[in-house]
Amino acid sequence: MRLLEFQAKRIFSEHGIPVPKNVLLESSTDLENLLYPVMLKAQVPVGGRGKAGAIKPVTDANEAAAVLDELLNTRIRGNPVRVVLAEEKVEVQKELYLALLIDKLARLPVIMASDAGGIDIEQVARERPAQIVKKYIDPSVGLSNYTVHYLAKRIGVEGHLRDFANLAHSLFDIFRSYDGALVEINPLAVIANGLLALDAKIVLDDKAAYRHGDLFGRLKAEQTRSRKDGRSRTEQLAEGKGITYVSLNGNVGMISDGAGTGMLTLDLIQDAGGRAANFCELGGFGGKESMQQALEVVLANPRVKVLLISLIGGLTRMDEVADGIVAYLKRHEVFVPLVVRMCGTQEEAGRARLQTVGIEALDDLPTAICTTVDTVKGS
């Protein structure tokens, strides 16, 4: 789950990380008692908001009312703006970058810092990789003072070492306590009297939701209220069922058992001349119930002309997801063709069960892709 900025900053404040004074705005009536100048920041779950025109400085109440009305009636990279964060404007001496994330190849947390904050870290990595400092963290030890001091020296904040150390340890505490996939400050501002998190990004691991039920529930409820009616019916249905679903603009529906398989399948659909209608994956642990829920979500999109189910059984058992497909087809009329690619754990049992409803599963992904794209073109 990717948090909105105001949610991330609230968590930062609760853990002692300094952030600018701010207030959440939903209409012009919320502008009373603001102290100017302020920054108005659209609350949408995307990066690069500054370049997209979603962050604007204002100097007085009249300008604030006009800019707020403009932001609340626009979309930022397809996301409707429903709430805006008004934040005090501060004098910045230097902009830094600091983040914690999981390195999936190393299977370890890594802390990253740079003296080139305020821009996309991917751009820094491409153009000036030496400006990014990385240190892996032993989970049994945690974030050491040595690592913090090393980072402070490399990015030039030795003059604020105590503030930086407190901030870095608090950031790691958030990352560990909330099962973070990413906790990022960009930019981390050096100001006259210390350090300040000008922006905040937190991505939580959805698979850890069972450990933080109340927190996840509150955060999702806030996001639902802030989005109001900006989502499609399919996206609302997916969220209600806990399905990983991203709406796209094509007509080929897609369900995969994991994110890696799903991304590969999307690329191959594109290469074959098709256009995907969505990205939908079961998280690598798909079973009968999750497959039925995914089918309900994806087939609720009226643009879908053919559905490709791309499965490779590692942790996922093919007989269990086949049971989900069969159960769904027995209870619902499906008016689009289904193409199933299936291989891996218990695939023979899975194929046999699909044959009971007239589906011959393929074991070759390129063949399945070509069959899917040819079917949609024929329709």
Question: Strand, helix or coil at 214?
Answer: helix
pLDDT level of residue 227 (50, 70, 90 thresholds): low
Percent residues over pLDDT 70 in the chain: 94
**Amino acid, res. 353:** R
Does residue 219 lie in a domain region? no
Residue 7 covered by a domain:
no
Alpha-carbon torsion (228, 231, 234, 240), positive or negative: negative
Amino acid letter, 81: V
Question: Which comes out higher in pLDDT, residue 77 or 159?
Answer: 159
- Per-residue model confidence as pLDDT tens digits over 230-287: 555 566 566 656 678 888 889 999 999 888 889 999 999 999 999 999 999 887 667 8
Asked if residue 2 is part of any domain, the answer here is no
**Of 226 and 137, more confident:** 137
> What is the model's pLDDT at position 119?
83
Residue 3's nearest CA partner among 154, 223, 212 is 223
Arithmetic mean of pLDDT over the chain: 91
**Same domain for 373 and 239:** yes
SS3 per-residue string spanning 147-187: HHHHHHHHHCCHHHHHHHHHHHHHHHHHHHHCCEEEEEEEE
In-domain check, residue 3: no
127/116 Cα distance (integer angstroms): 11
**DSSP classification of residue 271:** H
49-70 b/e (C-beta count within 10 Å ≥ 16 → b): beebebbbebeeeebbeebbee
Shared domain for 200 and 334, answered yes or no, is no
C-alpha 377/C-alpha 305 separation (Å) is 9
Number of domains in the chain: 3
Q: Quick one: pLDDT at residue 236?
A: 58
Q: Which of 5, 87, 184, 320 is catalytic?
A: 184
Structural domain ending residue among the three candidates 88, 115, 131: 88
pLDDT in the model for residue 360: 94
Last residue of a domain, one of 192, 208, 224: 208
Q: In DSSP terms, which residues pair with 55 in a beta bridge? A: 41
298 and 181 belong to one structural domain:
no
| Model pLDDT for residues 322-362, shown as the tens digit of each residue | 999 999 999 998 989 999 999 988 999 999 999 999 999 99
Contacts of 250 (CB under 8 A, 6+ apart): 269, 274, 275, 276, 277, 303
pLDDT bin (cut points 50, 70, 90) of residue 313 is confident
Contact residues for 98 (Cβ-Cβ < 8 A; gap 6+): 111, 112, 113, 117, 151, 167, 168, 171, 184, 185, 186, 188
End-to-end CA distance of the chain: 37
* pLDDT value at residue 110: 97
68 and 129: one domain?
Answer: no
Q: Verify that 238 and 266 share a domain, yes or no.
A: yes
Tokens for 246?
């991203």
Among the candidates 88, 106, 141, a domain finishes at 88
Same domain as 373, residue 237:
yes
Domain identity same for 241 and 358? yes
Rounded distance between C-alpha atoms, residue 150 and residue 375, angstroms: 58
Task: For residue 57, give the CATH number of its domain.
Answer: 3.30.1490.20
| Strand extents, DSSP E, 14-105 | 22-25, 38-42, 55-58, 75-76, 79-80, 84-88, 94-103
Is the predicted pLDDT of residue 99 greater than 70, yes or no? yes
Distance, in Å, from the CA atom of 48 to the CA atom of 129, rounded to the nearest integer, reads 20
Lowest mean pLDDT: which of 129-133, 144-148, 217-221?
A: 217-221
Catalytic member of 5, 97, 235, 347: 97
Per the annotation, the verdict on 184 as an active-site residue is: yes
Q: Is the pTM of this model over 0.75?
A: no
Q: Do you know the residue count of the chain?
A: 379
Task: Tell me how crowded residue 228 is: count the other CB atoms within 10 A of its CB.
Answer: 11
Is 14 part of a structural domain of the chain? Answer: no
Same domain, 135 and 246: no
Nearby residues of 80 by Cβ (< 8 Å), 6 or more positions away = 44, 74, 227, 228, 230
The residue segments making up the domain with residue 63 are 21-88
